[in-house]
Chains A and B, each alone.
Chain A
Amino acid sequence: MSENVTEREVMEYDVIIVGAGPAGLACAIRLKQLKEDLMVAVIEKSAEVGAHILSGAVIEPGPLDELLPGWQDSPPPVCIPVKHDELAFLTATKRRKLPTPPQQKNHGNFIVSLGALCGWLAPKAEDLGVDIFPGYAAAGIHFLADGAVGGVIIGDMGVDREGQPKDTYMQGIEIHAPTTVLAEGCRGHLSKQLINKFKLDENSDPQAYGIGIKELWQVGPGKCQPGLVHHSIGWPLDTHTYGGSFIYHMDKDRVAVGFVCALDYSDPEFSPFEAFQQFKHHPSVKPLFEGGEILSGGARTIIEGGAQSLPKVEMPGALLIGDAAGLLNLPKIKGTHQAIRSGMLAASHLADKGTGEGFDGTLRASPIMKELHKVRNIRPGFNKGLWRGLITAGIETVTAGKLPRTLHNHADHSALKKLQDMKTVDRKWVKRELAPRDRLASVYFAATDHDEDQLVHLQILEPDVCISRCGEEYGHPCTRFCPAQVYEMVEDTDTSAGQRLQINAANCVHCKTCDIKDPYQIINWVTPEGGSGPNYQNL
């Protein structure tokens, strides 16, 4: 944030919501439904609502039924009822069906495009009088004299790579509100800042994350079976890396396919993007995609820590909702219904009490928390590997989480082993033929766009570490875990080490993996100029 002597223009609202995802929009809609005179605004860094969000996704309709009764009469553009569920275990060559665990039974649920869902929710919020501002990034917090959150500061636009104003320079305004609702999604940068500042996580386990990479394919005629939901575990991951795949068959010959890897993997040479591409080449999967074409693709981190890692979700002047707080139910692989519920809960709390104070208690006493509590031991159960994890998951499911024990999460970035401590793993990965050829070919489908002449939004807090330590200790894992190939070690004879870190910030898809997984925790993701970033379509 540039230090500006000129005072910024101010707009005032009763509630300012950061992020037009399902949580933020549900909160806005509910606020207006309860108190139509409230002045509510939602700011969103993407150029259009839905452009930065992606998910599988299979959603539970319950919270949507509550928010917008009768929504099924004019559903969002992509909305296919689930017809059939399967969970399978993959080896390099075989696929073995497993019994579908109750958390993954999807009868009554819908396959949607989360981006299209948000694009469908936004006009409903606007019809109720919510002001939605896509293309504006909340770059900083406006603090009051007593240290409470008083609103947000919109990022300056038209600033060049050196931080100097260009001809088009426009200073960001401030939006002041008695309550700021942070709905930035997983690892939101303002949420991260505030969690640190107010020590909201001092009584929680470290947060756990995964990276989800997704592609939307147009497959050949006759291959798509609308409503078919497939999940898998096993290959191409090893037994110490938690994750799995999804394939959701939609309409119009479109199939959504994706892969999630927990970010507490230990192999510094592991590439989540490559694991995803390998999955598509499994003999049971490849025929589906042969002859097809990719329509769009992208990546986003997923918040996996659940109940144990949930920070305090209130602070003076602000609330955390949705995945900015961390409400995703991992065994169900669903977070949207929780996000919508939390947005509605925050809205009713605010409408009722006129302040966010007490929201943490309200959330923890709610069905949202109950749902998280029930499955709290499943994710950490996998810290001991796939087989122990499956056993723990089985026990926890059968006992509905009632056993008087709570397993704990560990920090993802500290789980990375050093190169010298790592034994090479034979992953049985194959030579690939399906698109995309590599990460650069893949990032094309994210249609990500950044003005090259702006400050690099990926801050390296101690740049020497990259050259002096990381190469030897971890082999520059950032060049592998970033799904968009933002980070590259390039030859540079001008430096003493003969190489330097090059940050291709324009490729960034805003997934936040680097901010999470970097073993030294020196990468700080901040928001680039509003409107920049991916332009996801139907993801």
Chain B
Amino acid sequence: MKILVGIKRVVDYNVRIRVRPDGSGVDTDGVKMSINPFDEIALEQALRIREAGNAEEVIVVSLGGTECQQQLRTGLAMGADRAIQVDTEENLQPLTIARALLKVVEKEQVGLVILGKQAIDGDNSQTGQMLAALWDRPQATFASGLELSGDSATVTREVDAGLEKIEVDLPAVITVDLRLNEPRFVKLPDIMKAKRKPLEVIPLTDLGVASENDLLASQYAPPPVREKGIMVEDTAQLVAELKTRGLV
């Protein structure tokens, strides 16, 4: 079985992000970029499945410009066998990404797709679900537990009400949550080995997927600055202040 893991190049989770003064987006000038943390967890799980003997190949895929090859090489250093960069300069939306991933899935005849539950920049949590629907295969999202047995997988999902256990037939799409595993550190010699692993570049247009966005984000703004509060002397003053503000 081949496992496909999607990884996205995002602003590192440690960066203190700022909105550009003109409201056009988040300032990514000179900021550190890393693999989306949930995608690392996804890759770690794929590697464990391969190491347990239930898959022969782990392929990492990323959609973006040449810069995302950095993240793909990190994925290879962690242990993936092959990498695919779907080359595009466009800012893609989940539906487009899902369509592109489907083409890769069909081309590679993948048995399992593992994705992060969401990217920390868009926070959409849509790509995995859309891919499953387009592929007409089952989905198990927000996985915090995963067991494979033959042609199916038992997934523990973190949902609002608690934990839900479902069984899905493979091939399927699984998206992972924080508590599934802790990704391994990369060994230095593996960074060197990763340089020699295959990395294929496929232009997005070659996959026959249109990159036009249906949605346009028109404005970004930081949350309003919290107003300075006032100290009140006693309960009477508190009530008076609340009344002035029409809150009681």
A→B interface (CB under 8 Å): 9, 11, 47-48, 51, 77-78, 116, 119, 131, 133, 135-136, 154, 157-158, 167-168, 170, 173, 175, 218, 295-296, 444-445, 447, 449, 535, 537-538
Given the complex, which residues of B lie within 8 Å of A77, measured CB to CB? 29-30
Q: Are A9 and B187 in contact (CB under 8 A)?
A: yes
With known contacts A131-B192, A173-B189, A445-B16, A168–B184 Cβ distance under 8 A: yes
- A293 to B, closest residue via Cβ: B18
6 smallest CB-CB distances across A and B, nearest first, come from: A170-B185, A157-B185, A535-B14, A48-B32, A449-B14, A447-B14
With known contacts A116-B30, A535-B32, A538-B30, A444–B189 Cβ distance under 8 A: no
Known: A47-B12, A170-B187, A445-B16. 20 other contacts (CB 8 A): A9-B187, A11-B189, A47-B14, A48-B32, A51-B32, A77-B29, A133-B188, A135-B186, A154-B188, A157-B185, A167-B182, A173-B189, A175-B188, A296-B16, A444-B16, A447-B15, A535-B32, A537-B15, A537-B30, A537-B31
Given the complex, which residues of A lie within 8 Å of B15, measured CB to CB? 447, 535, 537
Given the complex, which residues of B lie within 8 Å of A51, measured CB to CB? 32
User: From residue 165 to 219 of chain B, which have CB atoms closer than 8 A to chain A?
Assistant: 182-189, 191-192
Q: Mark B103-114, 1 if CB is under 8 A from A, else 0.
A: 000000000000
User: How far is it, in angstroms, between the C-alpha of A47 and the C-alpha of B30 when the chains are bound?
Assistant: 14
Smallest CB–CB gap between A48 and chain B, Å?
A: 5
User: How far is it, in angstroms, between the C-alpha of A538 and the C-alpha of B18 when the chains are bound?
Assistant: 14
Dominant SS among interface residues on chain A:
mixed
Instruction: Count residues of chain B with CB under 8 A from any CB of chain A.
Output: 20
Given the complex, which residues of B lie within 8 Å of A535, measured CB to CB? 12, 14-15, 32
Q: Mark B18-38, 1 if CB is under 8 A from A, else 0.
A: 100100000001111000000
Q: Are A173 and B188 in contact (CB under 8 A)?
A: yes
User: How far is it, in angstroms, between the C-alpha of A157 and the C-alpha of B15 when the chains are bound?
Assistant: 22
User: How far is it, in angstroms, between the C-alpha of A168 and the C-alpha of B187 when the chains are bound?
Assistant: 12
Chain A CB count within 10 A is highest, among B187, B189, B191, for B187
Q: Are B191 and A133 in contact (CB under 8 A)?
A: yes
With known contacts A168-B182, A447-B15, A447-B16, A537–B32 Cβ distance under 8 A: yes
Contact of A295 among B18, B185, B192 (CB under 8 A): B18
Smallest CB–CB gap between B225 and chain A, Å?
A: 10
Smallest CB–CB gap between B199 and chain A, Å?
A: 16
Given the complex, which residues of B lie within 8 Å of A449, measured CB to CB? 14
- A9 to B, closest residue via Cβ: B189
User: How far is it, in angstroms, between the C-alpha of A296 and the C-alpha of B14 when the chains are bound?
Assistant: 12
Given the complex, which residues of B lie within 8 Å of A168, measured CB to CB? 182-185
Given the complex, which residues of A lie within 8 Å of B21, measured CB to CB? 218
- A529 to B, closest residue via Cβ: B185
User: How far is it, in angstroms, between the C-alpha of A168 and the C-alpha of B186 when the chains are bound?
Assistant: 10
- A41 to B, closest residue via Cβ: B188
User: How far is it, in angstroms, between the C-alpha of A535 and the C-alpha of B191 when the chains are bound?
Assistant: 22
11 contacts between A and B (CB under 8 A): A11-B189, A77-B29, A77-B30, A131-B192, A136-B188, A157-B185, A168-B184, A173-B189, A218-B21, A447-B15, A537-B16
